[in-house]
Amino acid sequence: MIDIVTVEVIKGALIYAAEEMGISLRNSSYSPNIKERMDHSCAIFDFNARLIAQAEHIPAHLGSLPYGVKKGIEVYEGELEDGDILLYNDPYVSGTHLPDITLVAPIYFNNKLIGYVANKAHHSDVGGKVPGSMPSDVNELFQEGIIIPPIKFVKKGVVDKEILNLILSNVREPYIRIGDLRAQVAANMLGVRRVKEICSKYGIEKFFEAIDKIIEYSERKLRIEINKMPKGVFEAEDFMEDIGSKDEIAKIKVKITVKEDEIIFDYTGTSKQVDGPINAAYGVAVAGIYYTMLCITNPEIPMNDGFFKPILINIPEGTILNPKKPAPVSGGNTETSQRNVDVLLKAFAQIVPNKVCAACTGSMNNVAFGGVDENGRTWAFYETIAGGYGGRFGIDGVDAIHTHMTNTMNTPIEAIERNYPILFLKYGVRDGSCGAGKYRGGCGVERSWKLLAPTATVSIVSERHKIPPWGLFGGESGKTGEAFIIKTNGEIIKLKSKQTIRMDYGDVFIIKTAGGGGYGKPFDREPELVIKDVENGYITLNQALEEYGVVIKNGKIDYEETRRLRG
């Protein structure tokens, strides 16, 4: 029998090995997407494809990597040799969208298959209709980029040049792709080496015993947490907007059943898959569930197969959270994944009200723009813009921050202005956009710039322009998002949440992202906090009066009036 000290040491070593893979991938990757935004994940699996350890990188890959690895290796059952690496990005295998390329390598120890390492990284382009491979107006997967099923990209340690060439001829900026793919291969090789070192150090029997204990540990820990929750059935729903050519809405509905030591998520009632790129591949939907469970229980629980066991999931096939090929899915990762978390938290607000937040900005606010500059050079830039975080039990939401399933950095304005023909006019916290509450939501962001090239195309994929982020327990909704183009003649064009449009020299693009919802009744907010927000411009004097019932005269709170108004 293995002792608890060795289990603890092997657990640490495995988690560190996954982390080291991630660092190596980040260090040796070429594109800012991986290097700065850290849009990648690394993990280690046993021979049954059970997740043993995962490095903490991006929530959207939680659980989608285990799903994708299982589906990917099924294709090559018994055919993967030492030194082989599988590569694929087909969302219906890998579980996310095309830009996420997954690489899986088997681990052989003493000629026996003992496990796998895998990593997944978001490539800044995989071909398709638009640069960046995140189009706003497609109705088939085929328009989103090259689709690669699981293939042996590396055979016995050697990269297959023919496959590489096939991939490179289908993507923009091929030499950046080479750098990133090379980094992914190296990260897997490092992972294989590290796991083998652990096996030689402790012996293969101890290694297997430790894995069982590590998995059992997370499972027990999560069951204890589930057991603390009130038992019962809880439901919630929320909507996506501006879908397809008819600007339709789609529903996400969840029914959560909390039992003694397990929890069931049933998405029956969720809308059918749609004709726009906001279907979320199954792995993305599952990632939202695991993310939410980790947040509302104990973020310290090691993420492995044991964590998945007490969680039972039913997402009907053919819905926007489990679509059938060839539904397009590029925006499912960024938009639908956020709404899924909103719905889950809305349901959990009935179960563990003190452990959730009100709705956050609910979108990753993707903005892509580009064109041809005065010198005939093509240029393209893609960014995601933060928003308001929902109010929470005991504390306000956070202003201007990336929420839930994303956490990517912005690009410095000084870098963008140096490289692209645009001039920024504003980047700030969006005044007054926070949902009122005892604990107010965070404010969204306002960002605007002027085009300094003859023409350009701007494309946005966002959400919450019509249906605002909800508050909780009497808290108000955050303000909805907005986007405009102001022409040089003064004409103002209001954009939809998902739209592609042409701009001309001197036109100004403005985006204002949604604020987070409030938590608790605004009239219960301490007047001192309200006046502080007025002084700092987060809310107006009028909002203080109308939303919070706080009367401010000559810069001071009129307590008597306030009390009267609040009743």
Partner 1 sequence: MFRVGVDIGGTFTDLVALGESGEIINIKVPTTPKNPSIGVLDSFHRFTKGIDVKDIELIVHATTIATNAILGQVELNLPKTALITTYGFKDIVEIGRQRRAELYNLFFQKPKQLIQRKFRFEVRERIDAFGNIIEPLNINDVYSIIDKIKSEGIEAVAICFLNSYVNPIHELRVKEEVIKNLPNLYVCCSSEVTKEYREYERFSTTIVNVMLMPIVSKYLKNLIDGLREFKISAPFFIMQSSGGMASIDYVSKKPTTIIESGPASGVVASAFYSNILGLRDVISFDMGGTTAKAGSIRKGIIESTSEYEVAGRVHKGRIVKGSGYPIRGSFIDLAECSAGGGTMAWVDEIGALRVGPLSAGAYPGPACYGLGGLEPTVTDANLILGRLNPKFLLGGELQIRMDLAKRAIEERICNKTGLSLIEAAAGIIKIANSEMAKIIRIVSVERGYDPRDFTMIAFGGAGPMHACALAEEINLHSVIIPPNPGLFSALGLVVSDFKYEVIKSIMKNVSFEIVNEVERVFNDLEIEGLNMMPKFFKGDIIVQRYLDMRYVGQSYELIIPIAKPLTNESLMKLIDDFHNKHEETYGYSAREGDVEIVNARVVIIGIVKKPRLKVIEKGEAQYSIDSVIGEREVFFEESNQYINCKVFNREKLKSGNIIDGPAIIEQYDSTIVVYPNWLAEIDNYGNVIMRWKK
Which 4-63 residues touch partner 1, going by CB under 8 A?
4-5, 7-9, 12-13, 16, 19-20, 23-24, 27-28, 30-32, 35-36, 56, 59
Strand 232-243 and strand 248-258: the pairing is antiparallel
408 lies in the binding site for partner 1 (CB under 8 A): yes
**C-beta closer to partner 1: residue 45 or 439:** 439
Residues 375-404 that bind partner 1 (CB under 8 A): 385-386, 392, 394-395, 398-403
Do residues 138 and 146 touch, judged by C-beta distance below 8 A? no
> Taking the complex as a whole, how short is the minimal distance between the CB of residue 327 and partner 1, in angstroms?
29
154, 156, 161, 165: CA torsion to nearest 10: -10
Alpha carbon of 388 to those of 152, 189, 391: distances in Å?
43, 40, 9
Residues 145-164 that bind partner 1 (CB under 8 A): none
**Four-residue CA torsion sign, 371, 373, 379, 380:** negative
488 lies in the binding site for partner 1 (CB under 8 A): no
> Taking the complex as a whole, how short is the minimal distance between the CB of residue 567 and partner 1, in angstroms?
30
Do residues 320 and 278 touch, judged by C-beta distance below 8 A? yes
> Taking the complex as a whole, how short is the minimal distance between the CB of residue 367 and partner 1, in angstroms?
13
Q: Tell me which of 137, 373, 417, 524 binds partner 1, using CB under 8 A.
A: 417
224 lies in the binding site for partner 1 (CB under 8 A): yes
**C-beta closer to partner 1: residue 186 or 372:** 186
**C-beta closer to partner 1: residue 162 or 414:** 414
**C-beta closer to partner 1: residue 276 or 362:** 362
Residues 268-307 that bind partner 1 (CB under 8 A): 291, 294-296, 299
554 lies in the binding site for partner 1 (CB under 8 A): no
**C-beta closer to partner 1: residue 171 or 176:** 176
**C-beta closer to partner 1: residue 27 or 48:** 27
* Helix, strand, coil percentages for the chain (3-state, nearest 5): 35, 25, 40
Q: Tell me how many residues contact partner 1 (CB under 8 A).
A: 75
For residue 93, the one-letter residue type is V
Residues 351-380 that bind partner 1 (CB under 8 A): 355-357
Strand partners, 60: none
Secondary structure of residue 187 in the 3-state scheme: helix
- Residue 219, C-beta contacts closer than 8 angstroms, at least 6 positions apart: 306, 307, 309, 310
Quick one: tokens of 169?
């001829």
Nearest to 306 by CA among 219, 182, 379: 219
Residues 179-208 that bind partner 1 (CB under 8 A): 179, 182-183, 186
Distance CA 146, CA 168 (A): 10
- Residue 46, C-beta contacts closer than 8 angstroms, at least 6 positions apart: 52, 114, 115, 116, 208, 211
**C-beta closer to partner 1: residue 8 or 524:** 8
Tell me the H-state helices in 203-333.
204-228, 282-296, 305-308
**C-beta closer to partner 1: residue 386 or 557:** 386
**C-beta closer to partner 1: residue 296 or 315:** 296
175 lies in the binding site for partner 1 (CB under 8 A): yes
123 lies in the binding site for partner 1 (CB under 8 A): no
Distance CA 117, CA 105 (A): 5
DSSP line for 488-552: TTS-EEEPPSEEEEEEETT-EEEEEPPPPPPBS-GGGS-HHHHHHHHHTTSS-HHHHHHTT---E
Nearest to 452 by CA among 501, 419, 427, 428: 419
Quick one: tokens of 542?
């009028």
Site string for partner 1, 507-536 (x = CB under 8 A): ----------------------------xx
> Taking the complex as a whole, how short is the minimal distance between the CB of residue 147 and partner 1, in angstroms?
25
Contacting range for partner 1; rule: CB under 8 A; set: 90-98, 136-144, 414-422, 489-497: 414-422
Q: Tell me which of 78, 230, 376, 412 binds partner 1, using CB under 8 A.
A: 412
Contacting range for partner 1; rule: CB under 8 A; set: 145-153, 154-162, 315-323, 408-416: 408-416
Distance of CA 499 to the CA centre of its chain: 21
173 lies in the binding site for partner 1 (CB under 8 A): yes
**C-beta closer to partner 1: residue 271 or 410:** 410
Distance CA 36, CA 147 (A): 26
> Taking the complex as a whole, how short is the minimal distance between the CB of residue 402 and partner 1, in angstroms?
5
Q: Tell me which of 426, 487, 494, 564 binds partner 1, using CB under 8 A.
A: 426
